[in-house]
Structure 1
């Protein structure tokens, strides 16, 4: 994987962890304004997840990198995003599997897991690169996803 510098998010936490991963997945945007993207096509998404917090867990981690890979990569890699009907919809633009929504959904999935941890880290940013020239940065607002 190519080393990359991501946009930085300002936060008040002492620790910041970043996890990179690649996800090969297909999708289509179910709207006529999507042009060619309304047709099924695939990407190798490059994803960076930024987690921050003040407290480490009993093993000295903010969160184990392997946990992030399990809850994101293992869920989406080699799938069709539209088939994840618990997350995406073909009838609501807020839930079409656009890169923007994919980034938001990843943040929501990660935060739901972080909320179960006793040290309560926070997902402060998700970066999703869809192609060499196009990417999205999603930053949850404080107190909500």
Structure 2
């Protein structure tokens, strides 16, 4: 794994966890303005997920690293993102599988899992690199402002 430097999130939490991993997936963007990206093509996506909180769970983890990876890798690796109709839509630009939307969707999946945890950690940031020179950072807004 390449050592990366990520944008940091200012937060008040005691613990911050970052998990890096990759997954391989195809997609296409259903818009004429997407140019060549309108055609089905693939990427090795590189993901960094930042999770923070003040309390550890009953195993001493904020969340198990393996759980974070499994939530995303098991779902998306070696798939066509467009085939995930419960997450992406060819009819709604806000749900096209662009890098921006995939990053936001990863956040939603992770945060939904965290919402069920007794120690209530928070997903603060998803860094998603689509190519060596192109990436997106998604940070949810909280109480009218970014975290």
TM range (shorter): over 0.9
Offset, 1:69: 1.0
Q: Does 1:68 align with 2:73?
A: no
User: Under a length normalisation based on structure 2, what TM-score does the superposition of the two structures give?
Assistant: 0.96
User: What's the offset of the Cα at 1:143?
Assistant: 5.2
Q: 1:55 matched to which residue of 2?
A: 55
CA distances 1:27-82 after superposition (whole Å, capped 9, x unpaired): 00000000000000000000000000000001110000011111111110000000
CA RMSD in angstroms comes to 0.9
Q: Look up the match of 1:87.
A: 87
Q: Secondary structure at the match of 1:91?
A: coil
Partner of 2:20: 20
Q: After TM superposition, what 4+ stretches of structure 1 lie above 6 angstroms from structure 2?
A: none
Query: Which position in structure 1 is the counterpart of 2:116?
Result: 116
Unpaired segments ≥5 residues, structure 2? none
Aligned length: 144
Match in the other structure for 1:3: 3
Instruction: Give, in whole Å, the separation in 1 of the partners of 2:55 and 2:46.
Output: 28
Q: Any idea what the Cα deviations from partners look like across 1:96-117, whole Å, max 9, x if unmatched?
A: 0000000000000000000000
Q: CA deviation at 1:12?
A: 1.0
1:131 is aligned to 2:127:
no
Structure 2 Cα separation of the partners of residues 105 and 142 of structure 1: 17
| In structure 1, distance between residues paired with 2:89 and 2:47 | 21
